[in-house]
Structure 1
Amino acid sequence: MSEILYVPTRRRDRSEQIRLEMRTLPDGRLVLPAYTSLQELVRCCGPRQPWMGVDSAGLQEIHRTTGYDVVLLDAAQPPPPPPPAAEDEYRRSRGWLQDPIGRAGAR
């Protein structure tokens, strides 16, 4: 496995800030999807998915700023969240992820 993980991002808006594609599990935990290779990212998210590479220091910084509960590796992604105007409805429906090994909901 590479020392770099590939993390899906949203397309940049006018602010040029990077926004991560975070998800929420049915049990309420915040998930950071990450991929072990670009090939896995493309396979799971599609060829047009924006991304950024992060190392262990980057993961620590993301955790500090987002407080994610789980890093889920190589999981199939649902369609991206809607634009900000419809984001409240999306949050109510709670975006999902397919756990490749079936343990994301286990404690």
Structure 2
Amino acid sequence: MSDVLYVPIRRRDSSGHVRLEMRTLPDGRLALPAYTSPKELVRCCGPQQPWMGVDSTGLQEIHRTTGYDVVLLDGRQPPPPPVGDDDRPFEAPLGRRATR
């Protein structure tokens, strides 16, 4: 992995603060999109997408302030978290899933 990741941002407001483009995954986890190169960012987000480069210290600070659960690296969706036994749907006889 590169020493720098490129993250999409919203344009700076009048205060000069940057807002990150975060994503909420279908399973509820908070994701930080990040790209290994500006070329990858443009491929996924388009040429008009503002971005900033962050190093490992910057990534740690982003995690501290946002509490993101996963990094979406180069637009790849991570696997869903493991399902605990209590979270599994009811299994009907013969392995057919029962509908609720």
Which TM-score band (shorter chain)? Answer: 0.7 to 0.9
Question: In the alignment, is residue 51 of structure 1 matched against residue 26 of structure 2?
Answer: no
Kindly indicate whether the alpha-carbon contact (under 8 Å) linking 1:32 and 1:71 is maintained by their aligned counterparts in 2. yes
Q: How far, CA to CA, are the matches of 1:33 and 1:105 in structure 2?
A: 16
Superposed, 1:88-107 pairs within 5 Å as 99=77, 103-107=78-82
Give TM-score, length-normalised by structure 2.
0.76
Q: Aligned with 1:62: secondary structure?
A: helix
Q: Percent identity?
A: 76
Q: SS of 2:20's equivalent?
A: coil
Between the aligned partners of 1:106 and 1:60, the Cα distance in structure 2 is 22
Indicate yes or no: 2:64 matched with 1:64: yes
Superposition RMSD in Å: 1.3
Query: Where does structure 2 lack aligned partners over 5 or more consecutive residues?
Result: 83-100
Runs ≥4 residues deviating over 4 A: none
Tell me what 2:17 maps to.
17
Which consecutive unaligned segments of at least 5 residues does structure 1 have? 76-97
Aligned residues: 82
SS in 2 for 1:9: strand
SS at match of 2:47: coil
TM-score, with length taken from structure 1: 0.71
